Chains A and B, each alone.
Chain A
Amino acid sequence: MADGTSVPVGVMTPAMAGARRAGSMKRFAQRRSTTAFLLCLPLILLVAGFVVYPAFYAIWLSLLNKKMTAFVGLSNFAFLLKRNTFQLVIFQSCLFAITAVIAKAILGFIIAHLMHNIPGKNQRIWRGLLLVPWVVPLALSTLTWWWMFDPSYSAFNWILEELGFGAVPWLGVGWIARICTITVNIWFGTPFFMIMYLAALKSVPEQLYEAAAIDGANAVQKLFFVTLPMMRNIIAITVLFSLIVTFADFDIVRILTGGGPQDMTHVFATYAFQVGIQSGDIPLGASVSLFMFPILAVAAFFVLRGVTRRTKEIAA
């Protein structure tokens, strides 16, 4: 790689003949693109070997039987779709992702606005404190939540009992457990929304608000006609990122409930883990996680198309 990079641009003096100059320019460009390609090679190998190849391999695996000896076509998918548990998994994944993302988006928006109200010097401290849930690794902080949801002598049940209510079996009853997993996800993900919105709020030019104020706009109108339109791209990107991460979430459900009670909290990732790793049926597990792909791809397509279109509008 070393000789490809030491391109002697400096020796190209004006005295050189025109023809030779064109030739060396061509060679220069060629070397340049070879070097460029070599610099990208590690990235290409990594992505090809551990992302693209596994993705196609997953499709191939999902078409095999449990022992991976025979080709069974789409019968893994057909089997899954008929299974009651898997229908629950689809419902729960969507419920988990959609409620959590909406709640995170709204809470993050409110907190970012509150934060934007207070003077810059104090913002750092508040922002610093509010980002802590995002900084602690999720697998570790979920352990704390697990402990707080403990049925016998736990943080929440103690408060409830002090207030005269009965103890709640947090992770033991289907719907409560679902709400618990969603709550933990909201707690973890809201700071991310907050920080993205705060950056976006700061990038809205002050003149726009002044112009709106001169036009007699009140706070609500400023929000809907200035802030939100200016932030649309960032909101879209943040929601897309969060949707993907939330939809594919593994840590929270795996640690808090392991999918229980009666499979009522399983999401795609945890169910794929249970089927593929714990029961050893890798093809069926691969089929489970492949169900995520079309849903994510559709979401990504529409969000990114919208973002590109708006970016072009701004540029035009």
Chain B
Amino acid sequence: MSSTTAVAENVPQTRRTHSSLHRQRTWALWGSYVALGVFVIMFLVPPFYTLMTSLKSSAEISAQQGSPWMVHHPTLENFWYLLTYPNFQTFYLNSVMITIATVVVSMVISVLAAFSLARMGFWGSNVLSTGVFLTYLIPASLLFLPLFKIVGFLGLINSVWCLVLLYPTLAVPFCTWIMIGYFSSIPKELDEAALIDGAGYLQMLWRIFIPVAMPGIIAATIFAFTVSWGAFLYPLAYLYTSNQMVLTVGIVSDLIRGDVFQWGKIMAGVVLASMPPILIYAFLMDYYVAGLTAGATKG
């Protein structure tokens, strides 16, 4: 393409077509809004339906009359039932405990390792960082059967605490990877200055790296939280009594008795169980997105 001739031809044209170009832009903008609106409606159908069903009484659901998309007599009885139902409280409590423990363990492991891999280095540390990345690519469903034997060997079958050992394997590789990226972007002059001032490495990590890389730490924490809150395969495979279950498996196994599907209660359970991720997402969306896309910009 020869740019000079194109410019020469374009100059008078642009002046003439300025207003039509402007109109074109406006049309494109509105077109984008309409198309996006269609997509948003399509993507939000299931959450909407969850909410609608959760507000229906069992009688309304089993009557099967009128549009299932609307609530005719909204009621909070499903929510009330679940909040006062001991099993559901246990699931919730287990989920919260396991998630907090997983997040703490994962963050400690990955921040220490990322600091070491990004800044200090030792014999074989490059191999290790590549290895960490490759670990992230190994899915949980590849390892759950040997892990079943290992968990059994440790005597942790049907103990909710086995998840604290296993969930970090899902979260740590990606968190370490995010943190290596954030730590590497901190200028080297900062740690030189700290070393000259007589700070040790742990002090340097605690006083400089963690505060400066706070956005990365929040993003990684959110990732670890999401993983351990939503994991389904491990709890389904290793836990079988309701006092040890977490939300993702508890709702399915406890509210479906034989052929009786208490859809109103199941949907209310889904709403309550999705609340923590949704709230975190609503308040920390930018960190959430930063964590998701960290791979894209670093990779």
Tell me the nearest residue of chain A to B197, going by C-beta: A10
Q: Known contacts A250-B141, A269-B141; is A35 also within 8 Å of B281 by CB?
A: no
| Interface size range of chain B in the complex | 35 or more
| Selected contact of B142 from candidates A143, A158, A248, CB within 8 Å | A248
B-side contacts of A135, CB under 8 Å: 226, 274, 277-278, 281, 288
B-side contacts of A247, CB under 8 Å: 139
Interface of A is mostly: helix
Complex interface residues of chain A between 238 and 266 (CB less than 8 A to chain B): 238, 240-241, 244-245, 247-251, 254-255
Tell me the nearest residue of chain B to A238, going by C-beta: B296
The total of chain A residues at the interface (CB under 8 A) is 106
- Among listed A14-22, A168-176, A209-217, interface-contacting one: A209-217
Q: Is the CB of A126 within 8 A of B40?
A: yes
B-side contacts of A110, CB under 8 Å: 35
Q: Known contacts A132-B43, A191-B43; is A215 also within 8 Å of B122 by CB?
A: no
Interface of B is mostly: helix
Interface 1/0 per residue, A253-291 and B, CB below 8 Å: 011000000000000110011001100001001100110
| Selected contact of A40 from candidates B28, B128, B273, CB within 8 Å | B128
Complex interface residues of chain B between 101 and 146 (CB less than 8 A to chain A): 108-110, 112-113, 115-117, 120-123, 125, 128, 131-132, 134-135, 137-146
Q: How far is the CB of B89 from chain A (nearest CB, A)?
A: 18
**C-alpha spacing A47/B131, complex, angstroms:** 9
Say yes or no: is A46 at the interface (Cβ < 8 Å to chain B). Answer: yes
Say yes or no: is B10 at the interface (Cβ < 8 Å to chain A). Answer: yes
Q: Is the CB of A195 within 8 A of B237?
A: no
A-side contacts of B198, CB under 8 Å: 8-10
Say yes or no: is A77 at the interface (Cβ < 8 Å to chain B). Answer: no
- Among listed A54-62, A82-90, A98-106, interface-contacting one: A54-62
Tell me the nearest residue of chain B to A36, going by C-beta: B120
B-side contacts of A37, CB under 8 Å: 116, 122
In the complex, besides A46-B172, A141-B274, 5 extra interface pairs with C-beta distance below 8 angstroms are A42-B113, A47-B131, A133-B46, A137-B226, A190-B43
